[in-house]
Structure 1
Amino acid sequence: MNSLSGTIPLSLGGLSELQEFMISSNNVSGSIPSNLSNASNLLQLQLDTNQISGLIPPELGMLSNLTVFFAWQNQLEGSIPSSLSSCTDLQALNLSHNSLTGSIPPGLFQLQSLAKLLLISNDISGSLPPEIGNCSSLVRLRLGNNRITGGIPREIGSLKRLNFLDLSSNRLSGTVPSEIGGCTELQMIDLSNNILQGHLPDSLSYVSGLQVLDASFNQFDGQIPASLGRLMSLNKLILSKNSLSGFIPSALGLCSSLQLLDLSSNELTGGIPMELGRIEALEIALNLSCNGLTGPIPPQMSALNKLSILDLSHNKLEGDLAPLAGLDNLVSLNISYNNFAVR
């Protein structure tokens, strides 16, 4: 299959009737021409997966009818023009996988039609502005793998339609605001690889449709909220590499859809709750390693016959290994550095 090559062919004059300009997945290089702003009726601009470099022209803010702007997987640099906030009909903006710098223009969060904002894997810095709460139509917000600092604004709780929140691999600090429980449509929350601290808010239990919660590689402390047991749709709970303490809540056994549970590398104490053995869906992994867990393996764990990976290493567990005898699907078992008795 042939592909286009060369630069974006817009030295031509008559652009006023152009409504869609889509050159995705070709070998196009050069920069985005500023005279693209002459395409006053343009609805869709899709430049993704090319080798386009240079700056995003601020003149694109003149495209008042623009609904979709995709330029991900290119070599764009410089800051996101604040003039894009003048594209009042914009519904989807994806500038991921570039080399963009500077902060996110607060005006983008004033766009009342914006449903998807994806800026993954750039070099964006600055903080998340409180204006984030004004973008009431936002469904998908992905800002992972940047250098965003500061806290998560409490105004995020106003995003009632949000179902996908990715703030991973940034430099966010402070606590997770309890207002996040107001995002009741959330299905996925990824806060991993930041420097967030404090307690995980109980209000997460209000997000009844939550399927994935990843808060690993942070500085969270305190106990794991027992209220997470209300999340009947949760299938991945990843809280590893924090400073969580106290007992593992037995209420987690109520998370009947859970396929992966990773609580490793914390400061958890007490025994393994027998209720974990009731999670029939648990098939990907159960990782409780590198904690301070004590006592025997509950006999109820023998019911986890779908489980592929079990890691109980680096604890203070004791007793025998009889409960593991029926785990026929295990492909990885690590029980090293404990006090088990071999008979």
Structure 2
Amino acid sequence: MSSFTKLFFLFFFVLSLSSLHSLTLPSDVAALQAFKSTVKPATILSYSCLGSWNFTSDPCASPRITHFMCGVNCDTSITPFRVIQITLDPAGYSGTLSPMISKISTLVVLDLSDNNFFGNIPSLLSSLPNLQTLTLRSNSFSGSIPPSIGNLKSLVSLDLSHNSLSGYLPDSIVSLSNLRRIDLSYNKLTGSIPKLPLNLLELAIKANNLSGSLSKLTFDGAGQLEVIELSENSFSGTLQGWFFLLPSLQQVNLANNSLRFIEIWKPANGKSDLVAVDMGFNKIEGNLPVNFASYPVLSSLSLRYNRLRGSIPAELGKSERLKRLFLDGNFLNGSPPKGLFSSKGGVSGSLGDNCLRNCPVSSDLCLKLQKPTSICRQAYGGKPTS
């Protein structure tokens, strides 16, 4: 072998060693190995992302022809390479979430959605200073939400919906100053809602066991909140007038709770972004609040199956933006406003199962029959309904 050939092979060998040193940080690799080891092997199919995780190859090396074909993304602009994203496919993986995942300090996204992970959410996840997206949706995680979650200062999106989480919501969530979206729907959470992060845009805690009244302290300072989805819980008492005056509020769903009374204040200077309100299937008593008509862009309103009585305010019939109105299943009386049956597009929904008179049978709003006169008389103390 000539000196040139020897020199060439020596250079190639040194270059190879240099490349090895520029690959993934060993502690990141060890964390990925620990993560895979807590998943039941029988649930790791050969064609799945985890099935391609073969540690004879480096997780961040490219091209990924046969190994680590999906599930892991890396930052290869730095040496050694660092893992920044774990996003699994919905392949039915079953196992626990290894606390070792907390060793990947550069992790930005952790998404294990639509699988069968179970057990507790490790409190050590709070050791991930760069985590922006935590999605554990549609698994079988149980236990409480760890209070240490408040240490995830970079978190922007938190989705733990469709699991079996129980206990109270930790007060520490207020510390998540960058959080914009939180979805804890379809769990078994109890108690009340603690104070919310100031920059939150969307709050969804549908179908849990939350109870008590909605406190102003919870929403104090949440001036960017646009969407509130709290249906299918056990909230009770009075929903006070400040609620619908939250400055950025657009959509509210409080259906299927046990609210008894609502106060509706007029928006300041007639300005509001409120578009849709659903408070159906509660226990709301009293008259239908006329001030709903003061919300300039309100297009959908549902108060169906409550205990409302009295007439439908004429102002609702004058609203040009209202397109959907569901008031069925109450004890409303009198004649509905003629404006609801305008030929200019009209309003869809239902006014049936009330005590109304002169509801035009030609309108889809009146397809559902009204309550029998005997029930209406009883509801009004035996007096005729006007």
TM band (smaller chain)? 0.7 to 0.9
Match of 2:297 in 1: 257
Distance 1:198 1:62, change over 3 A: same
Partner residue, 1:93: 134
Judge which range, 90-99 or 254-263, deviates more: 254-263
Determine the C-alpha separation between the residues in 2 that align with 1:244 and 1:123.
30
- Structure 1 unmatched runs, 5+: 25-38
More off after superposition, 294-303 vs 184-193: 294-303
Instruction: State the 1:132 CA deviation.
Output: 1.2
The match for 1:337 is: 371
- CA gap 1:199/1:296 in 2 versus in 1, 3 angstroms: same
| Counterpart residue type for residue 281 of structure 1 | R
The answer (yes or no) to whether the contact 2:245–2:265 under 8 Å persists in 1 is no
Structure 2 residue identity aligned to 1:255: Y
2:254 aligned residue: 215
1:248 aligns with 2:248: no
Equivalent position to 1:164, from 202, 222, 233 = 202
1:248-327 aligned at under 5 Å gives the runs 248-283=288-323, 285-303=324-342, 305-307=344-346, 309-318=348-357, 320-321=358-359
The runs of 4+ residues in structure 1 deviating greater than 6 Å are 18-22
TM-score, normalised relative to structure 2: 0.74
Q: Deviations over 1:189-246 (max 9, x none)?
A: 0110001111113222332322210001111112342347967322221001111112
Structure 1's 107 and 306: CA in aligned 2 closer, same or farther, altered over 3 A? farther
Call closer, same or farther: CA 1:301–1:336 in 2, change over 3 Å.
same
**Two-structure CA RMSD over aligned residues (Å):** 2.8
Query: 8 Å contact 1:119–1:144 — kept in the other structure?
Result: yes
1:141 aligns with 2:169: no
Which of 31, 44, 53 is the matching residue for 2:85? 44
CA contact (8 A) 1:181 1:204 kept: no
Q: What's the % identity of the aligned pairs?
A: 30
1:103·1:125 contact (CA, 8 Å) conserved in 2? yes
**Alignment of 1:174 onto 2:215:** no
State the AA in 2 paired with 1:226: W
Give the distance between the partners of 2:88 and 2:228, measured in 1 at CA.
28
More off after superposition, 65-74 vs 295-304: 295-304
TM-score of the superposition, structure 1-length normalised?
0.83
CA–CA distance in structure 2, aligned partners of residues 147 and 304 of structure 1: 47
Q: Equivalent residue for 1:29?
A: none
| Contact map agreement 1:167 1:190 (CA 8 A) in 2 | yes
Residue 102, structure 1, aligned to residue 149, structure 2 = no
For this pair of structures, how many residues does the alignment match?
315
Structure (1/2) with the larger helix percentage = 2
Report if aligned partners of 1:115, 1:138 keep a CA contact under 8 Å in 2.
Answer: yes
- 1:113 equivalent to 2:154? Answer yes
Structure with greater Cα Rg: 2
Return the match for 1:5 from 48, 68, 73. 48
